[in-house]
Amino acid sequence: MLKSELQVALTVVSRAANLAQSVFNKLVTAETVTKNDKSPVTVADYSCQALISLLLSKSFPNDPIVGEEDANDLKQPTESSIQLKNRVTQLVNAELSKPQSIGESDNLELGTSRDSNVLLDAIDRGTFQGGSSGRMWCLDPIDGTKGFLRGGQYAVCLALLVEGKVQLGVIACPNLPVNPSNPDSPKGVVLAAVKGQGAFQRPISETNGTLTPIRMNPITPESLSYASFCESVESGHSSQSDAANIANELGITNEPVRMDSQAKYCSISRGDGDIYLRLPVSADYEEKIWDHAPGRLIVAEAGGKVTDIHNNDLDFSLGRTLKNNKGVIAASADIHADVIKAVQKVLKV
């Protein structure tokens, strides 16, 4: 089931990851980093959303897309907007002009160059408001924008939702090592899961490579104190002091591994870390569905459980945000209840 969706999703996400890496190599310089200039990631955000939306619409023209970005800023008649639009058009067309590799999905018209207006329309296909009926794709073209600029972890994230439930998730992590137990192994991996069919990975570069099954670590309540947390880098996205108290409560002494983006879900899915906590930092922030949809399925299919701090399932059927959930707790299914208990004790919820 969903075989062609999986193949298309793997192709478009891998292509977008290559595009993002080329943006990084061309535009992120020592100067942009010292000046805290965010423009390279803006270019990557728009280019990747345009590319993925355009290619998805070739195979699935009737599926709407809930995407993080829209093209409003690119449509302004200012010099800087026109420059940005031209740059995006040039980069997307450069990626499209690369020859089709064996294993890539057919019929995507890779190789055909597109006009900038076609690309702006493709970006704006991502403005769908979501909801509980029918099929829709959920897209975060660059997740972990700060990680991208740091040369750290970031991810290209795509999920298919049917009747508000995640059925397929694909995440490319260009800076995650292929072999989790060897940080020096080549980098660039794409992870995928189909509901009821397991979770897998392969190197981004191997478009015709086999998908290798992945599993979370076999941790139990008895061995929980040996677990390690995978946490956000930004303290503004998840409370690090609460996380430290929860670790304490669980007897965990390993230092948390900090990284940006849904690479956190990917890491724990293949046993590189065990628990991902995203603890609410403000009462009014609503998590976005594109920050969690594919990661949640990959973890679940690798033997994990993902809920919010109240132990409720994440509800992707309510629009663009997880408005009925607070925080995210992802852990191996065998220890999830213990983690929730500690979370609730520390947060007093």
What is the per-residue binding string for Mg ion in 41-60, x denoting contact by CB under 5 A?
--------------------
Q: Which is nearer to ligand PPS, 215 or 288 (CB)?
A: 288
Residue owning tokens 């069919």: 197
Neighbours of 107 (CB within 10 A): 10
Nearest to 265 by CA among 167, 189, 196: 189
CA 282 to CA 141: how far, in whole Å? 25
Among ligand PPS, Mg ion, none, the one that 285 touches (CB under a kind-dependent 5 to 8 A) is: ligand PPS
- Positions in 244-273 near ligand PPS (CB under 6 A): 260-261
- Could you give the C-alpha distances from 274 to 120, 126, 143, 226, 326, in angstroms and in order? 40, 33, 21, 9, 20
Least distance from ligand PPS to the Cβ atom of residue 312, Å: 18
Please check if 140 is assigned to a binding site. Answer: yes
Strand partners, 231: 258
Phi, psi values for residue 246, rounded to 5°: -70, -40
DSSP 59-80: H-TT--EEES--SGGGGS-SHH
Least distance from ligand PPS to the Cβ atom of residue 68, Å: 6
- Positions in 277-336 near ligand PPS (CB under 6 A): 281, 285, 288, 291
User: Contacting ligand PPS (CB under 6 A), which of 69, 104, 124, 143?
Assistant: 143
Q: Which is nearer to ligand PPS, 108 or 266 (CB)?
A: 266
Amino acid at position 250, single letter? L
- Could you give the C-alpha distances from 41 to 46, 215, 230, in angstroms and in order? 9, 32, 24
By CB under 5 A, tell whether 143 contacts Mg ion. yes
CA 297 to CA 123: how far, in whole Å? 25
* Pairing outcome for strands 187-194 and 199-203: antiparallel
Q: Which is nearer to ligand PPS, 5 or 68 (CB)?
A: 68
Least distance from ligand PPS to the Cβ atom of residue 222, Å: 30
Q: Which is nearer to ligand PPS, 146 or 187 (CB)?
A: 146
Least distance from Mg ion to the Cβ atom of residue 140, Å: 4
What is the per-residue binding string for ligand PPS in 213-232, x denoting contact by CB under 6 A?
-------------------x
User: Contacting ligand PPS (CB under 6 A), which of 38, 114, 237, 310?
Assistant: 237
Which residues are CB-contacts of 159 (< 8 A; sequence separation ≥ 6)?
137, 138, 166, 168, 169, 170, 290, 293, 294, 297
- Residues designated as active site: 45, 145
Which secondary structure element, helix H or strand E, spans residue 14, and what is its range? helix 3-27
- Positions in 68-87 near ligand PPS (CB under 6 A): 68
User: Contacting ligand PPS (CB under 6 A), which of 18, 89, 145, 175?
Assistant: 145
DSSP reduced 3-state for 82 = helix
Among ligand PPS, Mg ion, none, the one that 272 touches (CB under a kind-dependent 5 to 8 A) is: none
Please check if 142 is assigned to a binding site. Answer: yes
Please check if 219 is assigned to a binding site. Answer: no
Residue 318 gets which letter from DSSP?
Answer: S
- Could you give the C-alpha distances from 179 to 184, 202, 221, 261, in angstroms and in order? 8, 10, 27, 19
Which secondary structure element, helix H or strand E, spans residue 246, and what is its range? helix 240-249
Please check if 214 is assigned to a binding site. Answer: no
Q: Which is nearer to Mg ion, 143 or 308 (CB)?
A: 143
* Tokens of residue 315, six digits: 């509800």
Work out the angle at residue 209's Cα, subtended by the Cα atoms of residues 203 and 211, and round it to the nearest 5 degrees: 75
Piece of the chain touching Mg ion by CB under 5 A; list 24-32, 61-69, 108-116, 278-286: 61-69
Please check if 291 is assigned to a binding site. Answer: yes
Among Mg ion, ligand PPS, none, the one that 69 touches (CB under a kind-dependent 5 to 8 A) is: none
By the criterion CB under 6 A, which residues form the site for ligand PPS?
68, 140, 143-147, 232-234, 236-237, 260-261, 281, 285, 288, 291
Task: Give the annotated binding-site residues for Mg(2+).
Answer: 68, 140, 142-143, 291
Task: Give the annotated binding-site residues.
Answer: 68, 140, 142-143, 291
By the criterion CB under 5 A, which residues form the site for Mg ion?
68, 140, 142-143, 291
